Structures are given as structure tokens and as C-alpha cells.
Amino acid sequence: MPSDEAVVQAAAEAAEGVIFARMKRSAVDDYDVRVTFEDGILEVDVYVEAPDADADEDRIADDAALAARSAVDELFDDA
């Protein structure tokens, strides 16, 4: 069973990976990835602000949150 810290780290890394795979770091004015894992409940919130980027910020944030959840699922599958 992965530790709570490992779950949070895997989720955050996956979310950031999606954000910066789809947008250049220089195009992102602000972003926030909040991950909590308590009592077996995973909560992921992703916010991206990149007004000058030619990308759908909301879609990227949603996809990043989905990737975070998938990364945690894989972590538990491997355990």
C-alpha cells in the first residue's frame, strides 16, 4: 500500500506533467495543483492561468486532474 505522501506526489507530478506537456512554461502565468489524500479519499484541484497561450486552460486543467487520478490508480494497481 503506497503512503499518503507517495499518492500526493504521484498525483501532483502527473498533473504538472500534463500542464507543461501542453503549454510552454513561459506561457503559464500561474498554476496551482492541490492534492489531498486522507482516509482513502483523493481530492485533486487544478487551476491554470495562461491568457497568452493558444490553449484551452480549463480543458488542460481538467485533463491534468484526470491524469493525477489515473496516476494514483496505477500506483495502487502496482502495489
Query: Sorting pLDDT into bands at 50, 70 and 90, what band is 1?
Result: confident
The structure's pTM equals: 0.93
> Going from the N-terminus, what domains does the chain have, and what CATH number goes with each?
4-78 (3.30.300.100)
Q: How confident is the model at residue 79 (pLDDT cuts 50, 70, 90)?
A: confident
Which pLDDT tens digit goes with each residue over 21-58? Answer: 999 999 999 999 999 999 999 999 999 999 988 899 99
Given a contact cutoff of 8 angstroms between Cβ atoms, the answer to whether 47 and 31 are in contact is yes
Dihedrals φ, ψ of 40, to 5°? Answer: 80, 10
Per the CB < 8 A criterion, the answer to whether 49 and 57 are in contact is: yes
The DSSP output letter for 22 is H
Cell 489515473 belongs to 70
Chain centre to alpha carbon of residue 46:
6
